[in-house]
Amino acid sequence: MLIRKRHRNDPKSSEITPESVYLKRRELMILGGLAGLFAATPAWARTVDPATEDGSRPAWLRQQVAGAKAGEPRTDEKLTPFDDVTHYNNFYEFGTGKDDPAAHAGGLKTHPWQVTVAGAAERTGTFDLEDLLKGLPVEERIYRLRCVEAWSMVIPWVGIPMASLLKKLQPTSKARYVAFTTLADPKQMPGVDSPFTGIDFPYREGLRLDEAMHPLTLMAIGLYGRTLPNQNGAPMRLVVPWKYGFKSIKSIVRIEFTEQRPETTWNLLAPREYGFYANVNPEVDHPRWSQSRERRLPNSLFNPNWQPTELFNGYDQVAGLYKGMDLRKNY
Ligand SMILES: Nc1nc2c(c(=O)[nH]1)N[C@H]1C(S)=C(S)[C@@H](COP(=O)(O)O)O[C@H]1N2
Ligand SMILES: [Mo]
């Protein structure tokens, strides 16, 4: 992988103080959310998101995001600025370049959005997103995201603990895995028909049910206190912070509970390079590069900002899920 995108050596003032700018915006959003209880979100509340507009999102979704409680974990690490989080992306349905998703995902229609729930669960069928998410708790979690390509970010997500969503769907005793599928619409996603990715769309991912139920696993509906930008997987995407980023599948349209381990996109494409588990592990190198360190964004050619990579991306609390397993074999 090559570093092909320009990186800022002279940050704008908004990037020097991302936390304070962001916290101020959050206060406004919380006020906006309270106002929303009594009336449709007032116009002034919409002005709190100058960086990208999310005013076109449905009011219920903006209110659910604005109502997020501060959850654990938080972090002392510097947040990756909003501009990098939303302009350095992997979303091959919109092209393979890091700037392709921001350039081409603008037209993705994320409302109305339906999600099909299938397989070993009591509540299956096709649901409007609003009904699927209604009544579920929303939290802000600050997670490290470690891509298998050896770069990383720190992102303040807003999301629903996956366990609460899955419990609502009532998996049966047969359910051992949960599989997720991304929308694949060539009319809206220019990468889907492109011969360059080698990917057999739709993009698919999956977790063991106990991994999906772990308290760290999040169904994200926002970041930086606002609804998810399209390029980050609107309207709803998985976030599994202890696994390589490719597990965190975007723009989900299908959730299926299965008995057998589901097929997953990168594992199908290159099984020796990308495993089903894909736990971050500095001891198990990718066949073509080391996984012992990562470039923390934002960085530059002159300041690559290398950091050591930690087992489970530093989230030791998940170690019990893999007790007795050989992590070299189950990469
Ligand atoms: N549907 C879909 N989901 C996807 C991808 C993709 O190409 N398509 N890329 C994955 C990879 S490799 C990474 S690193 C993360 C990047 O998420 P971000 O762009 O929000 O940082 O999304 C993951 N989810
Ligand atoms: Mo990735």
Residues above pLDDT 70, as percent of the chain? 84
Q: Does residue 251 sit within a domain?
A: yes
Nearest atom in ligand 1 to the alpha carbon of residue 202 is: 1
DSSP state of 63: H
The pLDDT confidence band at residue 15, using thresholds 50, 70 and 90, is: very low
Cα of 149 vs centre of ligand 2, distance in Å, is: 6
Looking up residue 96, the CATH number of its domain turns out to be: 3.90.420.10
Q: Does residue 219 sit within a domain?
A: yes
Number of domains within the chain: 1
Nearest atom in ligand 1 to the alpha carbon of residue 91 is: 7
**Which domain does 247 fall in, by range?**
48-319
Q: Is the peptide bond before 18 cis (omega within 30 degrees of 0)?
A: no
pLDDT, tens only, 146-186: 999 999 999 999 999 999 999 999 999 999 999 999 999 99
181 lines ligand 1 (CB under 6 A): no
Q: To test the ligand 1 pocket, which listed residue (246, 254, 273, 313) has its Cβ within 8 A of the most ligand atoms? A: 246
The pLDDT confidence band at residue 195, using thresholds 50, 70 and 90, is: confident
Q: Does residue 24 sit within a domain?
A: no
Cα of 141 vs centre of ligand 2, distance in Å, is: 20
Q: Does residue 1 sit within a domain?
A: no
Asked which of 5-14, 142-151, 159-168, 213-222 is least confident by mean pLDDT, the reply is 5-14
Task: Record the tokens describing residue 220, joined without a space.
Answer: 């994200």
Q: Does residue 86 sit within a domain?
A: yes
Q: Does residue 221 sit within a domain?
A: yes
Collapsed DSSP state (helix, strand, coil) of residue 122: coil
Q: Identify the residue whose C-alpha is closest to ligand 1 atom 20.
A: 232
Q: Does residue 229 sit within a domain?
A: yes
pLDDT, tens only, 78-107: 999 999 999 999 999 999 999 999 999 999
- Average pLDDT of the chain? 88
Q: Does residue 16 sit within a domain?
A: no
Check: pTM over 0.95? Answer yes or no. Answer: no
Strands (DSSP E) along the chain, which ranges? 69-70, 114-119, 125-128, 139-146, 151-161, 177-182, 204-208, 218-223, 226-227, 237-239, 252-258, 293-296, 306-308
Cα of 161 vs centre of ligand 1, distance in Å, is: 19
pLDDT, tens only, 49-63: 444 567 789 999 999
| pLDDT: which is higher, 52 or 19 | 52
